[in-house]
Structure 1
Amino acid sequence: MKAIVFDQPGDESQLYLAEVADPAPAPEAVLLHVAATALNRADLLQREGKYPVPPGANPILGLEVAGTVIEVGSTVTGFEVGDNVCALVNGGGYAQQIAVDHRMLLKLPEKLSFTKAAAIPEVFLTAYQALYWIARIQASETVLIHAGASGVGTAAIQLVRLAGGVPIVTASGHKHAALEELGAARCIDYRAEDFAEAVLDATDGRGADVILDFVGGPYLAQNLQCSAVDARIVSLAALGGARVADFSMAPFLRKRIQLTGTTMRSRTDEYRRRLTADFRRDIWPHFADGSLQAVVDTIYDWEEVAAAHRYMASNANVGKIVMTIGLD
């Protein structure tokens, strides 16, 4: 089969199509013909040599796929050849075929396309984990979502609404209309406004009950400032840097704030299977009834992978950047 690979860390020009070995599915896995994958920030970091591949993970880029089952392992139940599915995977999405544990699969509703389905697993499972498993969001709570126009951000807006919460987001001003249409109650232009003051103003001084953060150290002081009593901050990345200057524990003690860091790719296979099972039960039916939607910004052919990576690096997208996988 063919896959997109790179020989040494660097910019997007390092990526190219090459012949690689076909995957061999284990008894509990299915073999998928991959129709589409989607880009994630981890793809860019791995390509740059800044995100080491976890032990046992597939070194090929791509953390989510949509496609068709073409072979079924001997112990697989509930799936058969011809099923259209999507899945969170631990690498390998930038390829024509991939072997996936059947417990990670989500069967596509009839009207969900491969390009839309490929935009769901990584971001919705990440947002679901952060909001439902870690923060344990409750109805009527206010949630501050940084990077609201990102894939995880657009998923989180919808999941907060589904839980009966109130989503407030930070994003560039020109993205606000699209995020309000998705359900954001308040959009904050982080370039023009102090987001902590804006959150406190929007909540009559209470602050946010839950904060999803991707920026890291540079935002910690403001996150603490606009946290409500008993707030839960979930740190999903440190794109702005991990260091914190002049750090004080006082706000954590005074407001009883919890700070939890998490990444998806470092989780065990068993954890990811349990998360997927809960997501399949609690969230997946809402894609069939239309109350949740994949948010796709742009679709590239995989021969345009360099352009797709450049576009993601520009931070111009609202939602996901999807890549279709060629047959030849």
Structure 2
Amino acid sequence: MKAVVFDDFGGPDKLHVAEVKRPTTTAETVLVRVTAVSVNHVDTFVRSGAFKTPLATPHIAGRDLVGRVVANSQADFKVGDRVWTNSMGYEGRMGATAEYVAVPVDRLYHAPDGVDGLQLVAAVHSAATAAIVL
């Protein structure tokens, strides 16, 4: 599958599209086919090395995604469910800018009906930050 990766820390010039192995699910993850992603300031901190965090290999960029469940072992999510997450690409988790992502079930949420995927993914980081602060 294709993914946006970086091999070394640095600026945007370190990002490139590469073929990587498609992830598989575990008892703790749900496989999501990605339909929309966004880039936020935390992504730039991770890519530059300014935010010290364990990274998955290959280092797939991005935290935020919207997609559809394609495989899982979790009762809360069914194949075809539309979902979102905003916490990939750090603490050892693969990033969001890939065709498929294995998302930990405790970091995956059902997407609200009637909300465009691009608008949703653009809002999840700032909305989640606001909810935490409140």
Q: TM-score under structure 2 normalisation? A: 0.84
After TM superposition, give the deviation of residue 56 of structure 1 in Å. Answer: 6.8
After TM superposition, give the deviation of residue 57 of structure 1 in Å. Answer: 9.4
Q: Which residue does 1:77 correspond to in 2?
A: 75
Q: Which residue does 1:22 correspond to in 2?
A: 22
Q: Which deviates the most, 46-55 or 122-131?
A: 46-55
1:1-328, aligned counterparts within 5 Å? 1-54=1-54, 59-73=59-73, 76-91=74-89, 92-131=95-134
| Partner SS state of residue 22, structure 2 | coil
Q: Deviations over 1:170-214 (max 9, x none)?
A: xxxxxxxxxxxxxxxxxxxxxxxxxxxxxxxxxxxxxxxxxxxxx
| Percent of aligned pairs with the same amino acid | 33
Distance 1:56 1:14, change over 3 A: closer
Q: Deviations over 1:3-53 (max 9, x none)?
A: 111222222122110011211221132100011111111211222222222
Unaligned runs of 5+ in 2: 90-94
Q: Which has the higher helix share?
A: 1
Q: Deviations over 1:266-304 (max 9, x none)?
A: xxxxxxxxxxxxxxxxxxxxxxxxxxxxxxxxxxxxxxx
Structure 1 stretches of 4+ with a deviation exceeding 4 A read: 55-58
- For 2:131, give the aligned amino acid: Y
| Number of corresponding residues | 129
Aligned mates of 1:104, 1:7 — CA distance in 2:
25
- For 1:17, give the aligned amino acid: V
RMSD: 2.1
Aligned mates of 1:13, 1:58 — CA distance in 2:
17
8 Å CA contact 2:35–2:67 kept in 1: the answer is yes
Aligned mates of 1:37, 1:113 — CA distance in 2:
12
- Which has more radius of gyration? 1
8 Å CA contact 1:57–1:90 kept in 2: the answer is no
8 Å CA contact 1:58–1:90 kept in 2: the answer is no
Q: Which residue does 1:263 correspond to in 2?
A: none
Aligned mates of 1:89, 1:57 — CA distance in 2:
17
Q: Deviations over 1:98-125 (max 9, x none)?
A: 1112232222222111111212332212
Unaligned runs of 5+ in 1: 132-328
- For 1:118, give the aligned amino acid: V
Aligned mates of 2:25, 2:8 — CA distance in 1:
28
Q: TM-score under structure 1 normalisation? A: 0.37
8 Å CA contact 2:7–2:58 kept in 1: the answer is no
8 Å CA contact 2:64–2:96 kept in 1: the answer is yes
Q: Which residue does 1:213 correspond to in 2?
A: none
- For 1:90, give the aligned amino acid: M
| Partner SS state of residue 66, structure 1 | strand
Aligned mates of 1:97, 1:64 — CA distance in 2:
13
Aligned mates of 2:34, 2:99 — CA distance in 1:
5
